[in-house]
Amino acid sequence: MTDTSEPGEAALFYKKAIKISPTERNRAFNRRLYGRALILAGQYETGRSEMISAADAIAKLSSTAGYNSEAMKTTRADVYIRLIWAEINMGWTTYVKDDFATLKMLSADVLDSGRRSTLQNGIDELNTKIQSLQLQPAALQKIS
């Protein structure tokens, strides 16, 4: 079975998923997917805004009882990795440097070495791609 849907159809699907999400966690995760689908459908500003709002909602969950703080911090940083890749894939690099700097800051908050290592791999891949695009973000060093 192949996916023959249009990017706009995915955005509509995730918009509906947000409305029926039973928890704040589900809403935040669906907003992340909705934002990425909007970017891929060419609605860059709205999609970016949705993804950042999702990351902020995930940040609130990291201090909520019952949620794993490290997992939520990692997921928040991962939202930025996915945001930057969507921006690059669509050739919309207006905010890549700013988003990369935010990603570096968020990654520094993750204390678990396994999670940090996973994030570092994503950051390294983005570094390579960003350098090939000659965007040269200021914060290219590894997480310390």
Q: Read off the pLDDT of residues 49-100 as tens digits, 9 standing for 90 and up.
A: 999 999 999 999 998 999 999 999 999 999 999 999 999 999 999 999 999 9
Average pLDDT across the chain, whole number: 89
Give the model's confidence band at 134: pLDDT under 50 very low, under 70 low, under 90 confident, else very high: confident
Per-residue pLDDT tens digits for 31-42 = 999 999 999 999
Q: With H, G, I as helix, E, B as strand and everything else as coil, classify residue 20.
A: helix
Report yes or no on whether pTM surpasses 0.95: no
Fold of 7-132: 1.25.40
Residue 2 predicted with pLDDT over 50? no
Listed by start position, the domains of the chain span 7-132
Q: Which residues contact 122 (CB under 8 A, 6 or more apart)?
A: 78, 81
